[in-house]
Amino acid sequence: MKTTDTADLWWKHAVLYCLDVETFLDWNDDGVGDFAGLAQRMDYLAELGVTCLWLMPFYPTPDRDDGYDITDFYGVDSRLGHHGDLVEVLRMAKDRGMRVIADLVVNHTSDQHPWFKASRSSVDSPYRNFYVWRKEPPKNQPETVFPGEESGIWELDETTGEYYLHRFYSHQPDLNVENPAVREEIAKIMGFWLELGLSGFRVDAVPFFIEGDPGTVSGDEYGDPHKYLKSLRAFLGRRTGDGILLGEVNLPREEQVTFFGGEALDELTMQFDFVAMQKFYLSLAREEAAPLAEALATRPALGRPAQWANFLRNHDELTLDKLSDDEREEVFTAFAPDEEMRVYGRGIVRRLPTMLGGDPRRIRMAYSLLFSMPGTPVLFYGEEIGMGENLAIGGRGAVRSPMQWTPEENGGFSRASKRRLTAPVVDDGYAPQFINVAQQRHDPDSLLSFLRTLIRIYRNSSEIGWGDCQILDQPHSSVLAHSVSATEGRMVALHNFSPNPVSVPLTLPDADGSTRLIDLLGTGEVTLSDEGSAELELDGYGYRWLRVIEPGSRRLY
């Protein structure tokens, strides 16, 4: 896919914000967040600096997997509102310069979906091949996505005496994407939501989605499964021109690259960088920059339209599956010492502030690093105010507690009784009376104000989204020094993973005494020697962003 117009590549320098409508704001006081509540907070999101909303599933659901078990791909769950409410949110987002994407969850359906009910009613049902059925499951089965919760990926259906495939929960049967009728239906689903105003999709579990039946030799009797992904990207392009597919592809990087579409870049537009995220936490645990520095230095270069999405936290467990067993144990020991804080033997169910013991220095350093890394930053709701988790919810749901707006009961999320809430609010030292939007919004020293500043400076530093990253040499093991360069400009960022202050000698090989370094997060500028060197001070867990102003440049900062 040859895309050259930078105006069309809005995702290269966006700020994504993921939220679950169900837990964001309840406007009719039934205990469940809704689109009417989200509409009331669009100005808040615009004020924060969000440029693209990512909506978690809002479709009709039995809600056994937080909405990822869908019974109608074309509907809006009645608890959240109706299509008119969603369209109003889309209009308000557009008026504020924001785009909206939504989860595309077409790897599986709920077992209550009409398609599956028809499929399991008879082996002769016209919907039988919408799912993957076998008379006997293969002897060698891949591991389930949820070890400890499911014993396998094939489930016996008593009605027909055959087994159906489910890579996730047994109540989520996998769709048969090798069936042309299913592929046509998926295109219709995408087309429907694009017509309503979405700017693309976050594609759930992409490798499982396009893999097909793991029991067959080819995995796809219709040829290379990546051709199907290419066809979806082409369909998106025809319908929108500048829509995106943001893919969840938690694979080794050399495999991830194939999901961008190789040199053609005609498959996924963006992918989450799971490797950098996991190495970031290893660096935090060790108080050493090397793991993250290596992850950034070895990140595959991408063609201009493609992009890596950076994140510190998302709505799932904080997976550590790309770390070695010993490395994973280091992170567990540092940030999830209790068993209830871990899940599936690979992940942590805590938010960043609690993992860092509430230390504001480390928390701010972490977000400074997130926004300075080349790529596009993605925030999960509540991160901007430092929300904690509620381990009482259990599992991955621990980080999906209601948004905390005020210090009032239920955190201003809802005026319903606590027993009616879709999920319990945090009730420890991170409870709403301590952590909320109302108290932080006008406090210049709050985390919310800090994030607003970071987003503003990030948006004024287009090289972060477009540029190439270089790890800069310096002698301190705790310090990550990197530069990002593009035709749009150049900046240098320094981050200290240690509580000890350091003095960092920095040399820019192509600079001299006429080059200026403007401090973006502070005031003033740094004077370089004739050799392009300077000594820079960093506090414990300190951070600095420096704009490189070349001789003759007319940039002010």
Identified catalytic residue from 162, 248, 267, 384: 248
Which residue type occupies 405? W
Nearest CA among 415, 416, 383 for reference residue 401: 383
Q: How far apart are CA 483 and CA 490, in angstroms?
A: 7
Per-residue pLDDT of the chain (557 residues; tens, 9 = 90+): 444 456 589 999 999 999 999 999 999 999 999 999 999 999 999 999 999 999 999 999 999 999 999 999 999 999 999 999 999 999 999 999 999 999 999 999 999 999 999 999 999 999 999 999 999 998 888 888 998 889 899 999 999 999 999 999 999 999 999 999 999 999 999 999 999 999 999 999 999 998 867 665 444 445 688 999 999 999 999 999 999 999 999 999 999 999 999 999 999 999 999 999 999 999 999 999 999 999 999 999 999 999 999 999 999 999 999 999 999 999 999 999 999 999 999 999 999 999 999 999 999 999 999 999 999 999 999 999 999 999 999 999 999 999 999 999 999 999 999 999 999 999 999 999 999 999 999 999 999 999 999 999 999 999 999 999 999 999 999 999 999 999 878 999 999 999 999 999 999 988 888 899 999 998 889 989 999 999 999 999 999 999 999 887 778 77
Whether 372 is covered by a domain: the verdict is yes
- Which residues have CB under 8 Å from 451's CB, separation 6+? 48, 367, 379, 383, 384
Identified catalytic residue from 66, 77, 174, 204: 204
- Residue 478 is encoded by which pair of tokens? 């705790």
* pLDDT given at position 151: 87
- Residue 140 is encoded by which pair of tokens? 């060698």
Report yes or no: 116 and 131 within 8 Å, Cβ to Cβ.
yes
Residues 268 and 283 in one domain: yes
Residues 408 and 544 in one domain: no
Say which residue the tokens 């009613």 belong to. 121
Which residue type occupies 353? P
The CATH number of residue 489's host domain is: 2.60.40.1180
Whether 279 is covered by a domain: the verdict is yes
Task: Please state the pTM of the whole predicted model.
Answer: 0.96
- Residue 275 is encoded by which pair of tokens? 């490797």
Q: How far apart are CA 396 and CA 169, in angstroms?
A: 14
End residue of a domain, out of 459, 483, 516 = 459
Residues 431 and 349 in one domain: yes
DSSP state of 343: E
Residues 37 and 150 in one domain: no
Q: How far apart are CA 173 and CA 184, in angstroms?
A: 19
- Residue 6 is encoded by which pair of tokens? 């930078």
* pLDDT given at position 557: 79
In the annotation, is 103 catalytic? no
Whether 172 is covered by a domain: the verdict is no
- Residue 298 is encoded by which pair of tokens? 């070895």
Residues β-bridged to residue 493: 482, 545
Residues 296 and 148 in one domain: no
With 0-12 / 13-18 / 19 or more C-beta atoms within 10 angstroms meaning exposed / middle / buried, residue 417 is: exposed
Whether 188 is covered by a domain: the verdict is no
Residues 277 and 405 in one domain: yes
The CATH number of residue 445's host domain is: 3.20.20.80
End residue of a domain, out of 431, 459, 487 = 459
Residues 282 and 376 in one domain: yes
Residues 269 and 348 in one domain: yes
End residue of a domain, out of 459, 484, 514 = 459
Report yes or no: 458 and 464 within 8 Å, Cβ to Cβ.
yes
* pLDDT given at position 217: 42
Q: How far apart are CA 542 and CA 528, in angstroms?
A: 21
Domain total of the chain: 3
Query: What DSSP line would sit under 123-157, residue for residue?
Result: TT-TTGGGB-EESS--SSPPPPSSBTTBS-SEEEE
DSSP state of 206: H
Whether 190 is covered by a domain: the verdict is no
- Phi and psi at residue 200, in whole multiples of 5°? 140, -165
- Phi and psi at residue 318, in whole multiples of 5°? -80, 95
Q: What is the DSSP pairing of strand 347-348 with strand 376-380?
A: unpaired
CA-based torsion, 417, 418, 423, 425: positive or negative? positive
Residues 240 and 319 in one domain: yes
Whether 171 is covered by a domain: the verdict is no
Residues 446 and 496 in one domain: no
Residues 123 and 99 in one domain: no
What are the start-end ranges of the H helices in 389-536?
437-441, 447-459, 463-466
Whether 346 is covered by a domain: the verdict is yes
Residues 297 and 359 in one domain: yes
Query: CB-side exposure of 77: number of CA atoms within 13 Å?
Result: 23
In the annotation, is 204 catalytic? yes
Q: Which residue segment(s) compose the domain that 126 sits in?
A: 114-165
Which SS3 state, helix, strand or coil, does residue 195 take?
A: helix
Whether 292 is covered by a domain: the verdict is yes
Q: How many residues does the chain have?
A: 557
The CATH number of residue 145's host domain is: 3.90.400.10
Nearest CA among 355, 409, 413 for reference residue 386: 355
Dmax over CA atoms of the chain, in Å, equals 81
